[in-house]
Structure 1
Amino acid sequence: MAKNQMKKCLWVLDTIYRTGGISYKDIAARWEREHGHDEMGKLGNSTFRYYIDLLQDLFDVNIECIASDGYKYRITSEHDLDGRNAKNWLLSAFAVNNIINGNRALEGRVMYEDIPSGEKFLLPILDAMRQWRELDIIYTPFYREEPKLHHVQPYAVRVNQRRWYLLARNPKGGKPFHLALDRMDKVEITDEQFTIDPTFDIDAYYDAAFGVITGVEDELDIEKIRVKVYNDYHSSDYLRTLPLHKSQIVIESTPEYAVVEYRLRPTDDFLTAILALGGNAEVLSPEWYRNYVIDEARRMIGRYIKD
């Protein structure tokens, strides 16, 4: 299947699934609104029916036209599509269709890391980003019991530590902020359009960040942090081939250890990554950060050793 055809089929399947049922008239109108002026072309009735048949063959789902419900097309074997593997495959195929191109020979042979939080709201958020439309998000963070409505402009999405995040901005102004997809209760695309602040640079925004915590809000300075990683269990070898951060450079390398340097804002997620190396890592400088890691290591030990 040509990659453009796969793109169209996945769009049809995702739209039917997310709406819970939609008529041909409504899906054709939505198609025209979203794709009428790009390479997707128009969605004719015969083409739509062809995609329905193709989708049923590709994904082993039943899509039926329910006459009693306004001739809406609905996935009647929804439990199949709700399965974690099937839905993850759908999301992955939608994101990397240039590679997969609908080749069923790859099914069951490509395994992706499970990121549960991306399953429900990732596609509508990406859809809003593509259309330059603002979002209404019902959100319940861990530190609140009651949900809160956020009306935001979706700037970017980023995955970190098996969790998807939306980088959003309030239309009324202020700095961008993150919303975790797994804390979202509801996401709706609005009719309000937006444009990204022309001064905003996504690469510059994350340049000195280790994960999604940039440290800018806390006014953390960018530091040069040197870490000695011992080669017990090939720890330094792994770190050389898979850097913790894009700024990582090797200052010294021996068969027994490697000294690496990072240029970033030392937020808590970076501290967690250093501690995850256990006894195979030793922070050398700056002195204040070395002492900070020592204090945290002592606190961790205190969880296990009681006086």
Structure 2
Amino acid sequence: MTSDLFKRYVWLIDVVNQAGKLTYEEISSLWERSPLNEDRSPLALRTFHNHRYVVDKLFGITIACKRKGGNYYYLKDNADAKYSTQLKIWMLQTLSNSHALESEKRCRDRVLANDNPDEKFGLAAAIDAMEKNVCVRIVNSIPKTPEHLTEFTLEPYCVRFWGNSWYILGKIHGRKDMLVFDLSRVLNLEISNIKFNYDENFEPEKFFENYYGMDVDTELEPVTVRLRIGDGTRDLIRTQILHDSQKEVMADFDSSIFEYHLVPGEEFKRCILLMGDDAEVVSPQELRDEMGEIICRMSKKYTR
């Protein structure tokens, strides 16, 4: 497959995904204005259907047609496969962008990205172990338990991309507690020959719904948190939601109150602090008091 064809397939997936639904005529019109289409030629109907076929067979992403109401095309999804499809789209977009940067040398030094931690071990081996239902042996760079252990035999349950890193969630072999490992901080990861029985009732997306990011503590219960966000930040929070449970329950001319249902762990507290004086914990009182103590300790460091 040529890189140009690959980009065209990714472009088709991306425009349908972004729009939600499009007619063939709308897709063809977008193609005529695409920077990938240098001669501004229309997208032939036969070519369009051929692209749909290849996208389905090659990437496992189905662009279906809803004939009722105007022959609209959309990404076919079911509830179980939704996250998988979105992950495939993200990976394909990343690969396409990489191809674009390699080919467009004139613009390469004008496209900047943060350096990610070097992940020498983990993702491919973790996925392979999940496929085979075998444990992995992990050597972590920092202790992960009260016993200050750094070496583990882990039953891998899922992997997740969050905050520029890949993470693995699993059970310590022979124990019930779940642990999360940042693969960029793993010193070594090897597939073992120890089999384990994966709990088919485990739902990764549901497991994380009460947590912010990868800050997992199964001993804590979620609570309702209300934050007052100032006018300088609330538009950002509206478009880049902090958590799936987010609701804007009140809006004034200079601030809004957002409500969340989650476990307010350390990562969530750091997120609040990152917003500076544009964020205030309204409730619960325990979290408000804790944030106040953190801010007081910070203030003392600057008033010595």
Question: How far apart are residue 102 of structure 1 and its match?
Answer: 10
Does the C-alpha gap of structure 1 residues 188 and 95 become closer, same or farther in structure 2, counting only changes over 3 Å? Answer: farther
| Residue 214 of structure 2: aligned partner | 212
Asked if the contact 2:178/2:218 (under 8 Å) is kept, the reply is no
Q: Does 1:269 align with 2:267?
A: yes
**SS, match of residue 124 in structure 1:** helix
| Residue 137 of structure 1: aligned partner | 138
Determine the C-alpha separation between the residues in 1 that align with 2:286 and 2:89. Answer: 46
Which letter does structure 2 place at the counterpart of 1:267?
G
Asked if the contact 1:114/1:162 (under 8 Å) is kept, the reply is no
Question: How far apart are residue 164 of structure 1 and its match?
Answer: 2.9
Q: How does 1:170-185 map to 2 (within 5 A)?
A: 170-185=172-187
Asked if the contact 1:134/1:191 (under 8 Å) is kept, the reply is yes
| Residue 223 of structure 2: aligned partner | 223
| Residue 281 of structure 1: aligned partner | 279
Determine the C-alpha separation between the residues in 2 that align with 1:143 and 1:302. Answer: 31
Asked if the contact 1:117/1:181 (under 8 Å) is kept, the reply is no
**More deviation in 239-248 or 107-116?**
107-116
Question: How far apart are residue 301 of structure 1 and its match?
Answer: 0.8
| Residue 52 of structure 1: aligned partner | none
Does the C-alpha gap of structure 1 residues 256 and 94 become closer, same or farther in structure 2, counting only changes over 3 Å? Answer: closer
| Residue 12 of structure 1: aligned partner | none
| Residue 122 of structure 1: aligned partner | 123
Segments of 5+ residues of structure 2 without an aligned counterpart are 7-56, 59-86
Question: How far apart are residue 271 of structure 1 and its match?
Answer: 0.9
Q: Does 1:190 align with 2:192?
A: yes
| Residue 96 of structure 1: aligned partner | 91
Matched residue count: 217
Determine the C-alpha separation between the residues in 1 that align with 2:165 and 2:265. Answer: 17
**SS, match of residue 300 in structure 2:** helix
| Residue 153 of structure 1: aligned partner | 155
Question: How far apart are residue 132 of structure 1 and its match?
Answer: 2.9
**SS, match of residue 96 in structure 1:** helix
**SS, match of residue 150 in structure 1:** strand
| Residue 75 of structure 1: aligned partner | none
Segments of 5+ residues of structure 1 without an aligned counterpart are 7-38, 41-91
Q: How does 1:81-92 map to 2 (within 5 A)?
A: none
Which letter does structure 1 place at the counterpart of 2:175?
G
TM-score by length of 2: 0.61
Does the C-alpha gap of structure 1 residues 102 and 276 become closer, same or farther in structure 2, counting only changes over 3 Å? Answer: closer
Give the % identical residues.
25
Question: How far apart are residue 143 of structure 1 and its match?
Answer: 7.6
Which letter does structure 2 place at the counterpart of 1:190?
S
Partner residue of 1:256 out of 254, 257, 261: 254
Question: How far apart are residue 222 of structure 1 and its match?
Answer: 1.6
Determine the C-alpha separation between the residues in 1 that align with 2:94 and 2:141. Answer: 36
